[in-house]
Amino acid sequence: MQRSIFLFAAFVLALSGCSVGPDYRHPELPTPAAWKQPGAGNDWPQRDWWQRFALPELNALMEQAAWANPDFGAAVARLREAEAQVKISGAALLPSVQATAGAARSRSLSTVPKNASKPVGQDSFGASLSAGYELDFWGRLADAQDMARAAAEASRFDQQTIALTVQAQLADSYFLALALDERLKVAARNLANAQATLDAVRARASHGLAAGLDIAQQESVVAELRAAMPPLRQQLRQTVNSMAILTGQLPDAVAPPSRTLAEVTIPEVGAGLPSGLLARRPDVQSAEAQLKAANADIKAAEAAIFPDVALTAQGGAQSHQLSTLLDPASVLYSLAASLTQQIFRGGALEGGIELKQARYDELLEGYRKAVLTAFVDVENALVAVEQGKEQEAAQARAAATAREALTIAQGQLRAGTADILSVLTAQRTLYQAEDLLVQVRLARAQAAVALFRALGGGWQG
């Protein structure tokens, strides 16, 4: 009997590890041969892409965010959870072993003397070692571990996606803070200019050379410029507070940037070849890892239809005296093999397979969307970078022209050859041109950040 059990176990072990269900295949999706808007060369960004802006303040913020950002810390914890789940799922592929030892004293009818002597108890000593092993004959347990591994891989990619998102948000917030500070300076400079003009108009009015309407019109310009500043201050403070959240600090620990947006050199960004983009996008890699997990889940569901095969073994010793516990006569053992087959579950197993297949199809569409989004992100960022460069140059010329026009209008006003309306128009035009120039520079800087992000930020799986 013992030999038969061992032969059966050896036979099942030899055949275990089979797998049922569909093997995973990488989805073949079309990729563009080239970008519509070529980038600056075919080199991919580096991991520390933000250092290309040559801003020590931004570098320090990125370093702070790398270890203190709450979202990134939570992503690291989720990755640890997923890796622990891999260990748990892998335990089912190994035998389980349990050791027990004990001593007992009991009294029952069999230990009570039939004469009038004093009842006595009976001692019992035992020690045993038991083992159980479920043979993964159809690969169900291995598929479950594969699913856990793919889920852990997806968590790792998600962690990188979150890191890239935090970096891009921090860079955008930094440049926004620079722009808001510079827009405040533009408003203050134009306010000082308008106030000087108002003083000049009042002086002319005192000599009868200007009317009260001229004063009122110039006062309206001064009031408009003053009114434009509080919202900018509010937005600047809120942006700095957002930077505090991104770097895991309290609001009072982060100061507004000290640089100006005009000093920032926008780096040229290489876009690489479209064929290499998907391997550099952690969000796309995460979508495929989830697809692998779903495929392994289908395989496990199909394997669940087939019978489960298990082996159990137990050995030990039992004796009424501790001194004889190790005698050969006290040795006990048992060996067993079992096969369990589901007969009827009302279609639950078949429904489970259909559920897993539908989940796979859903994730496949999600993967397709992630791929399409990746290419669109790069194309949008490339055109934004290129057009932003042209727009900044054109807007800089417009601001210079408006500044010159105001100088001429003010000179003519002092000479009495132009009225206040010319100055008012020139003032409003200059303020709008300079304010828009700052916003254009911000859009260009953020477009470069968007391109770094669309290219995966230099990440490589």
Which residue matches tokens 């779903």? 294
pLDDT: is 331 or 245 the higher one?
A: 245
pLDDT value, residue 337: 83
> For residue 114, what pLDDT band results from cuts at 50, 70 and 90?
low
Helix axis angle for 56-68 and 70-91, nearest 10°, is 40
Domain membership of residue 229 (yes or no) is: yes
Residue 177 has pLDDT above 90, yes or no: yes
Domain residues for the domain of 257 are 19-96+138-307+348-454
Over range 440-452, report the average pLDDT: 96
Domain membership of residue 356 (yes or no) is: yes
Least confident stretch, 43-47, 285-289, 315-319, 358-362: 315-319
Over range 12-37, report the average pLDDT: 78
* Tally of structural domains, the chain: 1
CATH of the domain at 27: 1.20.1600.10
Residue 111 has pLDDT above 70, yes or no: no
Domain membership of residue 126 (yes or no) is: no
Q: Which one of 1-10, 177-186, 337-346 scores highest in mean pLDDT? A: 177-186
pLDDT value, residue 363: 96
Residue 232 has pLDDT above 90, yes or no: yes
Domain membership of residue 101 (yes or no) is: no
In this structure, are strands 96-106 and 331-340 parallel, antiparallel, or unpaired?
unpaired
Residue 13 has pLDDT above 60, yes or no: no
Residue 361 has pLDDT above 90, yes or no: yes
> For residue 5, what pLDDT band results from cuts at 50, 70 and 90?
very low
Over range 141-150, report the average pLDDT: 91
34-70 per-position pLDDT tens digit: 888 776 667 788 899 999 999 999 999 999 999 999 9
323-348 per-position pLDDT tens digit: 676 777 777 888 888 888 887 777 88
The pTM of the full predicted model, rounded to 2 decimals, is 0.84
pLDDT value, residue 8: 46
Residue 402 has pLDDT above 70, yes or no: yes
Domain membership of residue 370 (yes or no) is: yes
Considering the chain, what is the average pLDDT of its residues? Answer: 86
Domain membership of residue 110 (yes or no) is: no
Over range 373-394, report the average pLDDT: 94
pLDDT: is 139 or 444 the higher one?
A: 444
**Percent share of the chain, pLDDT over 70:** 89
Domain membership of residue 241 (yes or no) is: yes
Residue 213 has pLDDT above 80, yes or no: no
Least confident stretch, 67-81, 202-216, 425-439: 202-216
Among 140, 69, 453, 90, which Cα is nearest to 303's? Answer: 140
> For residue 4, what pLDDT band results from cuts at 50, 70 and 90?
very low
pLDDT value, residue 120: 65
Over range 295-319, report the average pLDDT: 86
Domain membership of residue 230 (yes or no) is: yes
